[in-house]
Amino acid sequence: MTKKDQRLIGGIQRFSTEDGPGIRTTLFFKGCPLDCKWCHNPELISNQKEILYYEQKCIKCGGCAAACPHHVITFEHNEISIDRKSCRHCAICTSHCFTGALKAAGEEKEKDSLIKTLLSDKTFYEQTGGGVTLSGGEVTSQAEYAYELEEILVKKGIDIAIDTCGHCRYENLEKLCKDAKHILFDIKCFDSQKHEELTGVRNDLIIENLRKLAEDASLRSKIIIRMPLIHPVNDSLEELNQIGMLLNEIGLDVVNLIPYHELGTGKAKSMGLAQDTYETPSVEHLDEIVATLVKRGLHVTVMGRE
């Protein structure tokens, strides 16, 4: 096995129903150029392994501290402490944790092993119009490897969805999108300055890449806009109306709304971080948002609603 045969994968979720049509398997690549304040998967932002520590599962045996070759884990006064700045992400400690209190986010996966896993539910894909979604993190953070996998899967008749934040080289994005059947394109915020405050980057490149994709009729028909709704930072009717105007302008009309949830806060805590918490838009406000977008001729789905 050569080094080129493996990359850092953040996780695999089978039987997913919210990452494109039908039943899907979602492959999460490590690495993302955005650092969203509400990120649902903060462990996928870094392109290195992350050590997650779930204190509630810890039996305080001290095995991890004894096993750490770099002495970044200490066990004193019946407490586990991790010097994360000095951690080298070797993840040796996790193999000495028998309760699952320590886990590694990020695993090197051989291509053949990944393909076998992604094909294992092919029958469900065929029965439901599903397939495989290449996500992250950000799929273009490992664009070359993602395309290698995509090429193999497409030849085997698998429906591919690309889930992207759009902040990337257009050439990489276009290459992945051409063989995909669905393009899940995130819009976090319309105003570029606010976008930078919330995610760490301006959205100029993101909007530029979306416009380029929409200019190609063969790609435009595949695009599904996905919008996280974080109350009260990006869900005003004015904000949503501006996004609706943009979509009208470039000829897009399918929108998935994703109401905020606190899934990322627990993960952030396990990484030694404190994540800001927000509110989920009320049912009434969601109805107003949907009505605003529908008036613009958009086809809107609120994810999680039956």
* HEC sequence for 57-110: HCCCCCHHHHHCCCCCEEEECCEEEECCCCCCCCCHHHHHCCCCCEEEECEEEE
Burial 51-64 (b: 16+ CB within 10 A, else e): bbbbeeebeeeebb
Among candidate residues 261, 255, 206, 204, the one with its CA nearest the CA of residue 230: 261
* Nearest residue to 247 (alpha-carbon basis) of 223, 281, 218: 223
C-alpha of 230 from chain center: 16
What mean pLDDT, rounded, does the chain reach? Answer: 95
pLDDT digits (tens, 9 = 90+) for 101-111: 999 999 998 89
* CA distance to 107, 109, 122, 168, 262, per residue, from 6 (Å): 9, 5, 23, 22, 32
Q: What pLDDT shows up at residue 304?
A: 87
Helix H or strand E encompassing 276: none
Write down the pLDDT at residue 3.
46
Mean pLDDT value of segment 148-162? 98
Nearest Cα neighbor of 234 from 20, 42, 38 is 38
Tell me the one-letter amino acid at 171.
Answer: E
The pLDDT confidence band at residue 1, using thresholds 50, 70 and 90, is very low
Sequence spans of domains, the chain: 3-47+107-302, 50-105
Taking phi over 0 as left and psi of -120 to 50 as alpha, with beta for the rest, 16 belongs to beta
- Two tokens at 225? 């806009």
The CATH code of the domain at 3-47+107-302 is 3.20.20.70
Are the C-beta atoms of residues 228 and 271 closer than 8 Å to each other? Answer: no
> Residue 130 is encoded by which pair of tokens?
């599903």
Size of the chain, expressed as the number of residues it contains: 306
Q: Is the dihedral of CA 143, 154, 210, 253 positive or negative?
A: negative
* pLDDT at 253 (0 to 100): 97
For the domain spanning 50-105, the CATH number is: 3.30.70.20
Q: Which of 24-28, 71-75, 108-112 comes out lowest in average pLDDT?
A: 108-112
User: What's the rounded Cα separation, in Å, for the pair 127 and 124?
Assistant: 5
Cα–Cα distance for residue pair 30/48, rounded to 1 Å = 7
User: Considering only 172-176, 258-262, 302-306, which range has the smallest mean pLDDT?
Assistant: 302-306
Confidence label for 180 from pLDDT (cuts 50, 70 and 90): very high
Looking at per-residue confidence, does 6 or 130 come out higher?
Answer: 130
pLDDT digits (tens, 9 = 90+) for 205-264: 999 999 999 999 999 999 999 999 999 999 999 999 999 999 999 999 999 999 999 989
Rounded to whole angstroms, the Cα distance separating 54 from 271 reads 9
Q: Whole-model pTM?
A: 0.94
pLDDT at 6: 55
- Binned at pLDDT 50, 70 and 90, residue 2 comes out as very low
> 268-295: per-residue pLDDT in tens?
999 999 999 999 999 999 999 999 999 9
178-183 mean pLDDT:
98
Contact 261, 230 (CB under 8 A): no
